[in-house]
Amino acid sequence: MPVHEEFQKLRTSLDRDRKEILDRFLERHSKECEQSVRDEIDSDKRHVAIINLIAFAFSESGPLRSTGYHFMKTEPLFRYRAQEGNKIFDIVLYSQKTKRAVLVEVKSSIEEPRRDALLPLKDQIANARNHLHELENEVTGEINDLEYVICGPPQDVEEIGKKLHNDDPACLWSADIQYSTLKIFNPTGTTNSERTAELIRKRQLNIDPDLREKMYGKTKSQGQMGIRVLTTSHICRMLSRTIAGITQRFLLNTSSDERRFWMHELISVLMDEIPGTPAEDLDRIAKEIIALAIKLRIVELEPSLTNPSESSYKLKVGTRTPKTIEDFVEGQYIKQICEENSPMMAIQEFREFVKKDIGTLDQIFSSLNQDKPDIQKKE
């Protein structure tokens, strides 16, 4: 039985007071769900913003280009992600002069430093070392040394610094997307030569002196590399970017009755959004996006009578600007996810309440009001 039918069946069987209790549970879980999904999407946006900040800093016109390190690509070794698990870094920088690659793992937020950043880094490092030859192909150069960086918001990076162990080969960079700045984090807080040498030996501070000198101060990196999503981005953001791209490239001047597109056009947009992605991954992502778009009633399948592979899709989104499309898609996605999950959460909580069934209804309603979550946006 679909969950919404189960919810309505249960609600119909209740007296007025217990209906109100069930409705309160549903209201609370719906708000919690909405905030949770929004947080996921916002976290993905911040993640991509930090990646853009780093990529531009080491681009042809970036402020850190003079260090000799160049931004090469996002998600190096992505093709090995499926067989290795999620053990890839977000960015690879490369110096032709030193033959050194810097692999950067970006964190938009961190709750527990060792669990969320330092322990997963060990598997990421092993994966990079196991595929060094493939990594050399991706940076188109010989690699004689690898450095590993965790980059995130200043306050989170500071907490990671407090949890570093001697055997954690992790350099730390802080990225402030509000002020578009990038900075090396020195765990000791000093430039004392002996302490610096010790951190370098432990691989907790970048080896290259030019890079350290440039990044000890806050580096302003305000340009844009046009990176909007990654292959591993949140599916809702992949969908909104793809729909916006299709609209801008193929449907901007069409009437509402003619807003149709084909799978090859969707894949063409995806190739621009996530360049360098293997064909099999593009095909998989395209199918996931279409399935979600149909489920959210953003597009409608129009089957071909002669060839199923040539079926078209009619776009049901009336808006045409990227920002309004993004807002609409996010709204539809959040609504769908919460309609699928919140009623069952409410049913489960109600059943636990029935088992206990203590206190007067006034006390219960008072408790529900006190427990009502603060849904203000948390950064």
Query: What does the H/E/C string look like for 158-219?
Result: HHHHHHCCCCCCCEEEEEECCCCEEEEECCCCCCCHHHHHHHHHCCCCCCCHHHHHHHHCCE
- Regarding whether 292 and 269 lie in a shared domain, the answer is yes
What gap in Å lies between CA 206 and CA 100, rounded to an integer? 11
- Regarding whether 200 and 137 lie in a shared domain, the answer is yes
**Length of the chain, in residues:** 379
- Regarding whether 73 and 45 lie in a shared domain, the answer is no
8 Å CB contact between 102 and 147: yes
Which CATH number characterizes residue 164's domain?
Answer: 3.40.1350
CB atoms within 10 A of CB 92: 24
- Regarding whether 280 and 185 lie in a shared domain, the answer is no
Question: Within a domain: residue 284?
Answer: yes
CB atoms within 10 A of CB 31: 16
- Regarding whether 256 and 332 lie in a shared domain, the answer is yes
Task: Give the type of residue at 174.
Answer: S
53-108 confidence digits (pLDDT tens) = 999 999 999 999 999 999 999 999 988 875 555 689 999 999 999 999 999 999 99
| Region of residue 304 (left: phi > 0; alpha: psi -120 to 50; beta: else) | beta
Question: Within a domain: residue 55?
Answer: no
Question: Within a domain: residue 57?
Answer: no
Question: Within a domain: residue 240?
Answer: yes
End residue of a domain, out of 158, 187, 220: 220
Exposure on the CB side of residue 353, measured as CA atoms within 13 A:
21
Nearest to 72 by CA among 48, 103, 46, 98: 103
- Regarding whether 177 and 132 lie in a shared domain, the answer is yes
Nearest to 208 by CA among 322, 364, 100, 335: 100
Quick check: helix, strand or coil at residue 325?
helix
- Regarding whether 177 and 154 lie in a shared domain, the answer is yes
In this structure, what token pair is assigned to residue 339?
A: 């309609």
- Regarding whether 73 and 35 lie in a shared domain, the answer is no
Per-residue pLDDT, 244: 92
| Region of residue 297 (left: phi > 0; alpha: psi -120 to 50; beta: else) | left
The secondary element (H helix, E strand) that includes residue 22 is helix 16-57
Per-residue pLDDT, 377: 37
Per-residue pLDDT, 249: 85
Per-residue pLDDT, 20: 92
Task: Give the type of residue at 53.
Answer: L
Question: Within a domain: residue 56?
Answer: no
- Regarding whether 280 and 162 lie in a shared domain, the answer is no
Q: CA–CA distance from 46 to each of 150, 168, 178, 180, 258 (Å)?
A: 15, 25, 10, 12, 35
End residue of a domain, out of 182, 201, 220: 220
Q: What is the DSSP string of 53-119?
A: HHHHHTSTTSTTGGGTEEEEEESTTGGGHHHH-S---SEEEEETTTTEEEEEEE-S--SSHIIIIIH
- Regarding whether 231 and 216 lie in a shared domain, the answer is no
What gap in Å lies between CA 55 and CA 60, rounded to an integer? 10
Q: What is the DSSP string of 330-346?
A: HHHHHHHHHHHHHHHHH
In this structure, what token pair is assigned to residue 136?
A: 């050399």
In this structure, what token pair is assigned to residue 109?
A: 């937020």
What is the number of structural domains in the chain?
2
Question: Within a domain: residue 139?
Answer: yes
What gap in Å lies between CA 268 and CA 272, rounded to an integer? 7
Nearest to 173 by CA among 190, 192, 156: 156
Give me the domain span that covers residue 349.
1-49+227-379
| Tens of pLDDT, residue by residue, the chain (379 residues) | 788 899 999 999 999 989 999 999 999 999 999 999 999 999 999 999 999 999 999 999 999 999 999 999 999 998 887 555 568 999 999 999 999 999 999 999 999 999 999 999 999 999 999 999 999 999 999 999 999 999 999 999 999 999 999 999 999 999 999 999 999 999 887 777 898 999 999 999 999 999 999 999 899 998 888 899 999 999 999 999 999 999 888 877 676 667 889 999 999 999 999 998 889 989 999 999 999 999 999 999 998 777 767 789 999 888 778 889 999 999 999 999 999 999 999 999 999 888 876 554 555 555 555 555 443 433 3
- Regarding whether 191 and 95 lie in a shared domain, the answer is yes
Question: Within a domain: residue 54?
Answer: no
In this structure, what token pair is assigned to residue 184?
A: 């090396």
pTM above 0.95, yes or no: no
End residue of a domain, out of 172, 205, 220: 220
Question: Within a domain: residue 58?
Answer: no
Per-residue pLDDT, 304: 77
What gap in Å lies between CA 119 and CA 84, rounded to an integer? 16
Quick check: helix, strand or coil at residue 142?
coil
- Regarding whether 248 and 100 lie in a shared domain, the answer is no
Q: CA–CA distance from 69 to each of 27, 100, 208, 312 (Å)?
A: 52, 9, 10, 45
